Amino acid sequence: MYQDYGVIDADGHVMEPPDLWEKYIDPEFRSVAPRGVGIMTIDVLGHRMPDVPGWREEATDPRHVFDPRFADAARRGYDAPSHIEAMDKEGIDIMVLYPSRGLFVTSANALPRRYVGAVCRAYNRWLADFCSHNPRRLMGAALVALHDPQIAAEEARYAVEELGLKSVFLRPNPVNGRTIDHPDHEEFFAEVERLAVPIATHEGAGVHLAQFGRDRYDKLFKVHMICHAVETMGACMDLIVGGVLERHPQLHCVFLEASAGWAPWWLERMDEHFEGFHGSREAGGLSQKPSEYFRRQCFVSCEVDERSARYVEEAFGTDVLVLGSDYPHGDGSFPHAIRDFVNLEALSSSAKRKALWDNPIRLYHLEKDAAALAAART
């Protein structure tokens, strides 16, 4: 807890060891397993990512310390015990864990479909082992890629039912020219809806997929700033306007690490186009305005100091915001992320409490886990 706030971090990260895939991938693919370089870079069948101007992996040893805030965790290889210690410093009760190298490891169009499935399977096995150190507090988001929707559906089922992971992470970018709402993906979305876990989109700059800004700008600063926002907004539009949420009314989505202030403006713009640009004919057979689907089925993470989050509360109330600390990435606010959010004057006390506890419980279906944690605490 932080003060009297229960805290669920809706978007933390693991820092995968460089030999994860060599150790966990099926033997058929071991000779061509992805290989980590430095802290976050991955080399997968000749694709080295992040691939963006300004990105430098100057150290080949993942224990190298670029940021003194993470010195102890880095020396320990960002292992699970170091995560728990960092959570205790912040006052975080539960952290839902998303990838670092895994943001990039399947992020190229040309990768063979079965190989992509094996790469996801290896990561998810490793992540389940990582979380087993303290399963009441460390909870994993499964890595799934849409190169083959049937394989993606099978991996989602394995990761949730066999490994106990709590979410399905997707890149927001198109894969092999297919946006996230492509008809080929219907089997996948039906399976995730049945599994009762959310779809989580999370961008990462410098991939070999279609990505806004990567071929336009020559500075990491610009590419990172624009691709996180624009690709996330595109995925939100596709899931809603493409009719995915209409066809799967029990499916929930969360849009991570792109701030939250875009949501009121973007959904208002969607509503305007739905009402004025032949939306009833062209918008995937929607039975209600786009903003109603967002209010009913979507969540969005805000930054710890994001003043524009107030407009999300004004537009959608207190039920759609969650918080991501981004630990242990350098653009996060560790060790003061939760403190900064609790002190954020732009949000009401009710909105902050819900973002830190009630909303991520509903999003990730953590009712039993939260009750067990509370019982252990007492």
| Mean pLDDT on 87-106 | 97
Query: At which residue do the structure tokens 């990838």 appear?
Result: 99
Between residues 282 and 44, the one the model is more confident about: 44
- Mean residue pLDDT of the chain comes to 93
**SS3 annotation, 29-47:** HHHHCCEEECCCEEEECCE
Residue 376, pLDDT above cutoff 90: no
- All domains of the chain, ordered by start, with CATH? 8-377 (3.20.20.140)
pLDDT at residue 62 in the model: 56
pLDDT at residue 64 in the model: 56
Could you report the per-residue pLDDT of 327-341, keeping only the tens digit for each? 999 889 999 999 999
Please say whether the dihedral angle defined by the alpha carbons of residues 261, 143, 334 and 206, taken in this order, is positive or negative: negative
Residue 60, pLDDT above cutoff 60: no
pLDDT grade for 113, boundaries at 50, 70 and 90: very high
Residue 58, pLDDT above cutoff 90: no
The model's pTM is 0.95
Evaluate whether 377 touches 7 at the Cβ level (below 8 Å): no
Could you report the per-residue pLDDT of 188-211, keeping only the tens digit for each? 999 999 999 999 999 999 999 999
pLDDT at residue 280 in the model: 64
Residue 59, pLDDT above cutoff 90: no
Could you report the per-residue pLDDT of 235-279, keeping only the tens digit for each? 999 999 999 999 999 999 999 999 999 999 999 999 999 988 766
Looking at the DSSP bridge assignments, the partners of residue 138 are 95
Evaluate whether 103 touches 6 at the Cβ level (below 8 Å): no
